[in-house]
Amino acid sequence: MIVAYFWRIKPSKLPFAIKAMGFDRFSLFRDKNVSFYKSLGTGKGETFTPTDANALQWGLVAVVEDIENFDSSAVVKRWRKSSVSEFRAVLDPISSHGQWASKEPFVGAVKDWDGQVAAITRARIKWSQNFRFWSSVPPVTVSLKSAPGLVAAIGIGEAPIGLQGTFSLWESAAAIRDFAYKGAAHQKAIADTSAYNWYSEELFARFAVREIRGVL
């Protein structure tokens, strides 16, 4: 199973968040319940530049064997204790294409899902293409924010520059398909990706939302 957390913190807890982003990996690496994990910063998801960053919201995505065991782990407890709100989504893969840190972490394929869908897009942007990428993003993010069937969306990143993506919630699989394949801005972005080859690694994954707790 996949679990995604997003926590909001008070400004006074920013030192904790920065420290946790650096040190949580050691606890997660040793946790035999966890087969994949990524600690995440978040942002508005509008330009995907460092100015987008939201220092008061942080996230974690993990592939785990036992959700409840992970929910009571030391890492999650520390974030929960230091946060003012918590969002948690329990997910099952519908489809996943590409890699994240040279891995294909989201294995499986739920069939005939008719409930809410979550999507993760992320990419490692080539340094030589950052400015071109940033100039192409705004039309896509504008169309995303107004897309029919979108429930919520935020920017996510493993670093302020070069490792960016989005986490989004949709009313249905049909809603996200319409945005991905019928939206003019998104189609242009796909064409630009092919023309400029600006990613050194990319991943697009969709998930069945099994359970949601809190507000994104």
Give the global pTM: 0.85
How is the chain split into domains, by residue range?
2-213
As a whole number, mean pLDDT of residues 183-195 equals 57
State in Å, rounded, how far the first CA of the chain is from the last one: 20
Task: Report the pLDDT value the prediction gives residue 143, as an integer from 0 to 100.
Answer: 63
Question: Per residue in 4-47, pLDDT tens?
Answer: 999 999 999 999 999 999 999 999 999 999 999 999 999 865 55
Where do the DSSP E strands lie in the chain? 2-9, 34-43, 53-64, 83-98, 117-125, 150-157, 163-170, 199-213
Model confidence at 123, in pLDDT bands (50, 70, 90)?
confident
Q: Give the least confident one: 49-53, 111-115, 195-199.
A: 195-199
pLDDT of 155: 86
CATH number listed for the domain at residues 2-213:
3.30.70.100
CA distance 105 to 121: 13
70-102 tens-digit pLDDT: 999 999 999 999 999 999 999 999 999 888 988
- Runs of H (alpha helix) within 158-199: 173-182, 184-196
Question: Tell me: the pLDDT tens digits for 35-48?
Answer: 999 999 998 655 55
Helix (H, G, I), strand (E, B) or coil at 151: strand
Percent of the chain with pLDDT over 90: 55
CB 202 within 8 Å of CB 124:
yes
Cα 155 to Cα 165: distance, rounded to the nearest angstrom: 6
Residue 134: the pLDDT is 58
**Using 50, 70 and 90 to split pLDDT, how confident is the model at 162?**
very low
Model pLDDT, residue 148:
87
